[in-house]
């Protein structure tokens, strides 16, 4: 290869004009295209320097300097100088380890240079290359050729000078475009417009491991600023949480929604089987989503990505450029069990989970690169990630409630203010009788407005009730569908068990050698019938007359139930303990709900203390001024801290081994909800062992 020589363009005039001049009409867009190329070249930092670009200046130039991967001689010859070769379309991601989603379009960025100035000098070097390559292109020459001399149709005759010079540093890399004879004037406002455009290039959330900063410098206007937004600037997310872990203490942060503060808080839980992870999740409500789209048109809100040692992992089909084809391997959008109003979808969150080879060795890439190897640790990781989203789901629920409350308050305070207005006007009229006549129409009007507001409040209340009623119907249809699936599954399983046994009788009875088996099957069928009855009873409880409101003595009801459980307590060696200091009368409530709550909690506790050394089940009631607190505690195996919310979901159970089906706490939660109360798992009253469930109910002494 010649050390110094010339290069020729390999396309014809018409193509050049079509793509170069006619496509990019705006200089800000042109410059923006060039910066996009820097991003696609894995640059960490880009500097755009304007010199003497203002009115009446000479020696104007624009520098675009990046520290990206740089170009080889072959790259310039075969790619940069040939139209229509864009390797971006076949490979939507930039080289390892950055794997950024390419933002440059159809390789037209290089023609943007033409839009900006007459001459360009490209200085470029790849890492480990011993020399820098410098190519000079004079666009003016082409332009003259193509307009003045019509016979010359190709640029191939025009030579571009290039040369190599030795590099001081072998590891240096990057590309600088030095555009001189800048074609148009750049005013301060133009440069600021460029800064604003450039800041939209890429969201700091898009690829958090490899951000790119754009520095814009224009000494003649005293401009020196960053055109990229940092994570701190992205306060457009509605809410976010950040989790870490403590490798030495072997604890992992987990997120939960704190209803008292309206914020997502973090608590420590024992480290999981998959090892410690860092996780950040940003949630965007509708307004925030709109803003994000406006601020970062090149990026999408696209769910949670997993980075291993700062490198985005392929399992999430990042190679798929069409967003709709990406696989939701974490199953965020597949979840059935949350209601549709509050469920968080991948289009509402941006999240990053950071894992490391060393700290999470059991999270292994699958050979097809489409997912991780399906093992216990990966399943637990998926479950952990999804459980964290509960906090956002609870936040959404909370916001909906607050919004409603707030709009009610505004309307009501408007009503009050009108009343205040009327009384102050009336008192003015009283003090100044001469004003009375002129103020009368004002009072009249204010009264009318006051009435209108009152009507509005009433109508809004009615509309809200109507909405709540419809929402309830909708929710009950939704939950009915789930419920029907679960109940039919339960009944079917029972029926199948009975059917198998009957079939056995039918085929092999009588057979004296099988006597014991026949007896056993008969007994089992009997118990299966009892089971089926239990499920049916629960279904029927919805239609029972004892759901009617009545006054009940809660202390008596609790003692009654504990008495009914006495034989079970005795046979299981459990010590019951009921602490209720006074008589508690509840007006207009539903006895059956309290029975359902307590019975299910007791059933759970009995299962939980099965293997405990000391078996105690304790129920205490604390009466507050406007709240009633029921605590049910046991000395059993406890509920892991990160499952404190999860256990209330249907079919979620921590006592699978003891035959827990995960329906008990679901019933408790739905019943407590209907009583307008709150149920939660709190720190155990027994200290390091056991579980305490706290139920808070509204109460007027």
**Beta carbons within 10 angstroms of residue 388's beta carbon:** 22
Q: Which residues bind other proteins (CB under 8 A)?
A: 334, 374, 376, 379-380, 383, 485, 489, 492-493, 496-497, 500-501, 503-504, 507-508, 517, 520-521, 651, 653, 656, 661-662
Pull the structure tokens for residue 248: 């030495």
Q: What is the smallest separation between the CB atom of 503 and other proteins, expressed in angstroms?
A: 6
Q: How far is the CB of 638 from other proteins (least distance, A)?
A: 17
On whether the CB atoms of residues 439 and 429 are closer than 8 A, the answer is yes
Q: What does the chain come to in residues? A: 701
Nearer to other proteins, 10 or 327 (CB): 327
**Residue closer to other proteins (CB basis): 334 or 431:** 334
- What the block records as the tokens of 603 is 């059933």
Token pair of 50 as six digits: 């304007």
Rank residues 152 and 517 by Cβ distance to other proteins and give the closer one.
517
E strands within 543-690? 550-553, 575-579, 585-589, 616-623, 627-634, 678-682
Q: Do residues 586 and 624 touch, judged by C-beta distance below 8 A?
A: no
- Report the distance separating Cα 208 and Cα 282, nearest Å: 13
- Min separation Cβ 477 and other proteins, Å: 18
Least distance in Å: CB of 335 to other proteins? 12
The CA distance from 118 to 251, in Å, is 61
- 3-state SS of 313-374 is CHHHCCCCCCHHHCCCCCCCCCCCCCCCCCCCCCCCEEEEEEECCCCCCCCCECCCCCCECC
- Only one residue has tokens 């705006």, namely 26
**How near is the Cβ of 245 to other proteins at its closest, in Å?**
22
Other CB atoms within a 10 A radius of the CB of residue 337 amount to 12
Output the smallest distance, CB 524 to other proteins, in A: 8
Task: Output the smallest distance, CB 495 to other proteins, in A.
Answer: 8
Q: Closest separation between CB of residue 492 and other proteins, Å? A: 5
Nearer to other proteins, 160 or 377 (CB): 377
Specify the residue, 222 or 506, whose C-beta has the smaller distance to other proteins: 506
Q: Is the Cβ of residue 492 or residue 566 nearer to other proteins in the bound state?
A: 492
Helix axes 436-508, 515-541, angle to 10 degrees: 170
CA–CA distance, 177 with 33 (Å, rounded to integer):
13
Place of tokens 């019975």: 599
**Closest CA relative to residue 252, chosen from 280, 277, 225:** 277
- The residue among 16 and 648 lying less far from other proteins, judged by its C-beta, is 648
Helix (H, G, I), strand (E, B) or coil at 302: coil
Q: Closer CB to other proteins, residue 50 or residue 521?
A: 521
Residue 357 vs 489, nearer CB to other proteins = 489
Minimum Å distance from CB 649 to other proteins? 13
Cβ contacts of residue 571 below 8 Å, gap of 6+? none
CB of 362 to other proteins, least distance (A): 13
Contact yes or no for 109/86 (Cβ under 8 A):
no
Q: Please identify, using beta-carbon distances, which residue of 44 and 380 lies nearer to other proteins.
A: 380
């Amino acid at each position: 290869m010649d050390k110094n020589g010339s290069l020729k363009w390999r396309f014809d005039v018409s193509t050049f004009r079509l793509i170069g001049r006619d496509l990019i009409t705006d200089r800000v867009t042109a410059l923006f295209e060039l910066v996009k190329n820097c991003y696609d070249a894995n640059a960490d930092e880009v500097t755009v320097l304007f010199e003497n670009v203002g009115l009446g200046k000479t020696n104007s130039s624009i520098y675009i300097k990046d520290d990206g991967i740089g170009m080889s001689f072959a790259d310039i010859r075969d790619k940069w100088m040939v139209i229509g070769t864009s390797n971006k379309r076949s490979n939507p991601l930039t080289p390892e380890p950055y794997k950024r989603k390419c933002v440059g379009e159809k390789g037209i960025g290089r023609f943007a240079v033409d839009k900006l100035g007459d001459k360009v000098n490209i200085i470029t070097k790849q890492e480990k290359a011993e020399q820098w390559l410098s190519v000079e292109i004079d666009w003016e020459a082409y332009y003259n050729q193509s307009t003045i001399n019509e016979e010359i149709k190709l640029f191939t005759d025009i030579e571009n000078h290039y040369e190599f010079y030795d590099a001081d540093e072998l590891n240096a890399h990057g590309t600088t475009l030095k555009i001189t004879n800048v074609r148009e004037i750049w005013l301060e406002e133009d440069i600021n417009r460029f800064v604003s455009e450039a800041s939209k290039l890429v969201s700091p959330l898009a690829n958090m491991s490899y951000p790119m900063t754009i520095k814009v410098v224009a000494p003649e206007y005293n401009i020196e600023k960053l055109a990229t937004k940092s994570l701190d600037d992205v306060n457009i997310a509605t809410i976010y949480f950040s989790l870490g872990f403590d490798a030495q203490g072997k604890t992992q942060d987990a997120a939960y929604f704190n209803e008292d503060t309206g914020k997502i808080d973090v608590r420590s839980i024992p480290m999981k089987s998959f090892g410690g992870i860092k996780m950040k999740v940003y949630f965007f409500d509708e307004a925030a989503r709109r803003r994000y789209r406006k601020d970062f048109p090149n990026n999408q809100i696209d769910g949670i990505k997993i980075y291993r040692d700062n490198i985005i992992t392929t399992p999430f089909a990042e190679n798929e450029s069409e967003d709709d084809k990406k696989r939701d391997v974490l199953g965020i959008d597949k979840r059935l069990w949350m209601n549709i109003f509050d469920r968080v979808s991948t289009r509402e969150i941006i999240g990053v989970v950071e894992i490391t080879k060393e700290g999470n060795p059991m999270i292994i890439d699958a050979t097809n690169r489409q997912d991780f190897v399906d093992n216990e640790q990966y399943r637990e990781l998926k479950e952990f990630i999804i459980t964290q989203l509960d906090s956002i789901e609870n936040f959404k629920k909370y916001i909906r409630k607050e919004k409603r409350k707030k709009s009610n308050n505004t309307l009501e305070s408007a009503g009050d203010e009108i009343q205040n207005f009327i009384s102050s006007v009336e008192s003015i009229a009283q003090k100044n009788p001469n004003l009375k006549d002129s103020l009368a129409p004002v009072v009249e009007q204010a009264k009318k407005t006051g009435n209108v507001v009152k009507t509005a409040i009433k109508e809004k209340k009615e509309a809200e009730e109507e909405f709540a009623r419809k929402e309830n119907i909708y929710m009950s249809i939704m939950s009915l569908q789930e419920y029907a699936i679960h109940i039919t599954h339960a009944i079917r399983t029972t029926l199948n068990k009975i059917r198998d046994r009957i079939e056995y009788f039918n085929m092999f009875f009588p057979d004296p050698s099988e006597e014991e088996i026949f007896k056993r099957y008969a007994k089992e069928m009997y118990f299966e019938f009892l089971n089926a009855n239990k499920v049916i009873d629960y279904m029927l409880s919805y239609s029972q007359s004892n759901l009617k409101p009545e006054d009940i003595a809660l202390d008596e009801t609790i003692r009654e139930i504990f008495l009914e459980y006495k034989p079970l307590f005795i046979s299981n060696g459990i010590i019951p303990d009921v602490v209720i200091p006074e008589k508690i009368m509840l007006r207009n409530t539903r006895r059956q709900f309290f029975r359902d709550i307590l019975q299910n909690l007791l059933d759970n506790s009995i299962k939980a203390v099965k293997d405990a050394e000391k078996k105690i089940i304790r129920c205490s009631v604390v009466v507050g001024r406007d709240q009633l607190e029921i605590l049910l505690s046991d000395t059993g195996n406890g509920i892991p801290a990160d499952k404190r919310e999860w256990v209330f979901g249907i079919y979620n159970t921590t006592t699978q081994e003891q035959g827990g089906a995960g329906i008990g706490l679901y019933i408790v939660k739905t019943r407590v909800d209907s009583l307008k109360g709150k149920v939660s798992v709190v720190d155990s009253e027994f200290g390091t062992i056991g579980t305490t469930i706290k139920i808070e109910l509204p109460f007027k002494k």
